[in-house]
């Protein structure tokens, strides 16, 4: 559990972060959303003490971050930044092994961990271990950057706009990968982005920041349905609210008996995808399948019912 308590950072009497308090449960993703200058990155960097707080405290699993030297603290916290920050003169394996090396892990344990992580990120170890970052695509570099941050099984992972440099298609895939790996490993992640879409896609809880203050800290569905301020509503976007709500709900929640015609949709897909399929092919219901077997259908009425605002 990560507790951020009354955290404040002042630069020349300007409060970049103003008395922020929030708690991140272990094994969840919390996404901090805000415009540039909202203090979201400063807040993140105070957690691993790349910035020292002016006042306030951060506790990781009950222990204050001030109890140890900053570089010791940072070795326990994964850190991923935009543009990945891989070391261009080190191979993929050596990049991933960076923190285990700092922690003096034995050599064979490091090698095994590197291969395990490459497998986890769908990069064949034999093929990628000895390559240099410049030999990889942007998406692969980004995956290696996340693998490096996970290498020493950190208590917490901080990610600062980790997908900012990727093009939209690769970004969507990277987000899905992150979600999958986070569920599998049970990692605790604090992620900063300016993109509400990304926040809704990834977050268990969203923290919206504006002018250094935390204006709302809630589950994505509640951020969409009940924005605390006009700023939050603007971030969500009025027009897109029903669609964003639908994007949070898996098809499996509203599947009913019946056998609609046409191409099927996966039970793991969101209602937004189902709506899109209905509208595009002019159908009022779409068959649903799981692992290639049809398990029922999802109807346009059912989708509409879930998209309506219920106060």
Partner 1 sequence: MRVPWHRAFSAPGVLFAGLGFAALLAPFMTIAANRIVAGDGIRAWDMAPDYATWPGLAAVLVGLLLGLPERLALVRLGGAVQGLCGLVLLLSIGGPALLEGAGTNARVSPALGFWCLLGIFLLLVADALVRMAPGPPARAGLLALAVGALAAVLGSGVLSDLSVLQEYASRREAFLAAAWRHLGLAFGSLALAAVIGFPLGILCHRAANLRAATLPVLSFLQTIPSLAMFGLMIPVLSWVGRTVPGAEAAGIAGIGFAPAFLALVLYALLPIVGNTVAGLAATPPAAREAARGMGMTPGQRLWRVELPLGLPVILTGLRIVLVQNIGLAVIAGLIGGGGFGTFVFQGLNQTATDLILLGALPTVALALTAALFMDILVDLTRPAQEARHD
Is 102 among the residues that bind partner 1 (CB under 8 A)?
Answer: yes
Q: How far apart are CA 275 and CA 308, in angstroms?
A: 14
Q: How far apart are CA 91 and CA 23, in angstroms?
A: 37
Is 99 among the residues that bind partner 1 (CB under 8 A)?
Answer: yes
Helix segments in 67-195, DSSP class H: 70-75, 92-96, 98-102, 107-120, 125-128, 138-150, 168-185
Helix (H, G, I), strand (E, B) or coil at 67: helix
Residue 201 C-beta: closest distance to partner 1, Å: 24
By beta-carbon proximity to partner 1, the closer residue of 87 and 309 is 87
Q: Which of 248, 250, 284, 245 is CA-nearest to residue 266?
A: 250
**Near partner 1 by CB under 8 A: residue from 14, 62, 88, 292:** 88
Residue 266 C-beta: closest distance to partner 1, Å: 36
Say if CB 5 and CB 51 are below 8 A apart: no
**Near partner 1 by CB under 8 A: residue from 82, 182, 193, 297:** 82
Q: Which token pair is 54? A: 């002016």
Q: Would you say how long the chain is, in residues?
A: 311
Residue range at the interface with partner 1 (CB under 8 A); choices 25-33, 128-136, 206-214, 259-267: 128-136
Say if CB 187 and CB 151 are below 8 A apart: no
By beta-carbon proximity to partner 1, the closer residue of 114 and 149 is 149
**Near partner 1 by CB under 8 A: residue from 8, 18, 57, 75:** 75
Q: Which residues touch 285 (CB under 8 Å, ≥6 apart)?
A: 258, 260, 278, 297, 298, 299, 300
Say if CB 235 and CB 247 are below 8 A apart: no
Is 155 among the residues that bind partner 1 (CB under 8 A)?
Answer: no
**Near partner 1 by CB under 8 A: residue from 63, 72, 112, 219:** 72
Q: How far apart are CA 180 and CA 273, in angstroms?
A: 19
| Number of residues lying near partner 1 (CB under 8 A) | 30
**Near partner 1 by CB under 8 A: residue from 71, 153, 180, 294:** 71
By beta-carbon proximity to partner 1, the closer residue of 79 and 231 is 79
**Near partner 1 by CB under 8 A: residue from 41, 48, 182, 188:** 48
Is 168 among the residues that bind partner 1 (CB under 8 A)?
Answer: no
Residue range at the interface with partner 1 (CB under 8 A); choices 14-22, 23-31, 64-72, 240-248: 64-72
**Near partner 1 by CB under 8 A: residue from 79, 121, 128, 217:** 79
Residue 79 C-beta: closest distance to partner 1, Å: 4
- Identify the helix (H) or strand (E) that includes residue 5: strand 2-11
What are 29's strand-pairing partners? 189
Residue 129 C-beta: closest distance to partner 1, Å: 14
Is 63 among the residues that bind partner 1 (CB under 8 A)?
Answer: no
Q: Which of 233, 159, 188 is CA-nearest to residue 23?
A: 188
**Near partner 1 by CB under 8 A: residue from 10, 132, 172, 222:** 132
**Scanning residues 247 to 286, which ones bind partner 1 (CB under 8 A)?**
none
Q: Which of 102, 43, 42, 105 is CA-nearest to residue 74?
A: 102
Interface residues with partner 1 (CB under 8 A)?
48, 50, 70-76, 79, 81-89, 98-99, 102, 132-135, 145, 148-149, 158
């Amino acid at each position: 559990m990560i507790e951020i308590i009354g955290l404040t950072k002042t630069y020349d009497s300007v409060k970049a972060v103003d008395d922020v308090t929030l708690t991140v449960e272990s094994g969840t993703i919390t996404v901090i959303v805000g415009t540039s200058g909202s203090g979201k990155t400063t807040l993140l960097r105070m957690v691993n003490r790349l910035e020292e707080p002016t006042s306030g405290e951060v506790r990781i699993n009950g222990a204050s971050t001030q109890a140890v030297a900053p570089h010791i603290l940072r070795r326990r916290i994964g850190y991923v930044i935009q543009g990945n920050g891989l070391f261009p003169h080190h191979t993929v394996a050596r990049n991933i092994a960076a923190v285990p090396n700092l922690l003096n892990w034995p050599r064979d344990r490091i090698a095994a961990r590197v291969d395990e992580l490459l497998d986890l990120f769908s990069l064949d170890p034999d093929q990628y271990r000895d390559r240099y970052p410049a030999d990889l695509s942007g998406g692969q570099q980004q995956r290696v950057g996340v693998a490096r941050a996970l290498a020493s099984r950190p208590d917490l992972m901080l990610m600062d706009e980790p997908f900012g440099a990727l093009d939209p298609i690769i970004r969507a895939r990277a987000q899905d990968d992150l979600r999958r790996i986070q569920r599998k490993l049970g990692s605790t992640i604090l992620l900063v982005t300016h993109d509400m879409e990304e926040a809704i896609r990834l977050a268990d809880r969203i923290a919206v920041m504006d002018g250094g203050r935390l204006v709302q800290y809630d589950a994505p569905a509640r951020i969409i349905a009940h924005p605390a301020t006009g700023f939050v509503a603007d971030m969500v976007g009025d027009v897109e609210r029903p669609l964003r709500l639908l994007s949070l709900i898996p098809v499996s929640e509203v599947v009913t008996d019946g056998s609609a015609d046409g191409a099927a949709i996966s039970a793991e897909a969101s209602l937004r995808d189902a709506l899109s399929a209905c509208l595009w092919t002019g159908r009022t219901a779409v068959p649903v399948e799981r692992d290639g077997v049809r398990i029922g259908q999802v109807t346009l009425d059912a989708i509409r019912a879930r998209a309506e605002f219920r106060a």
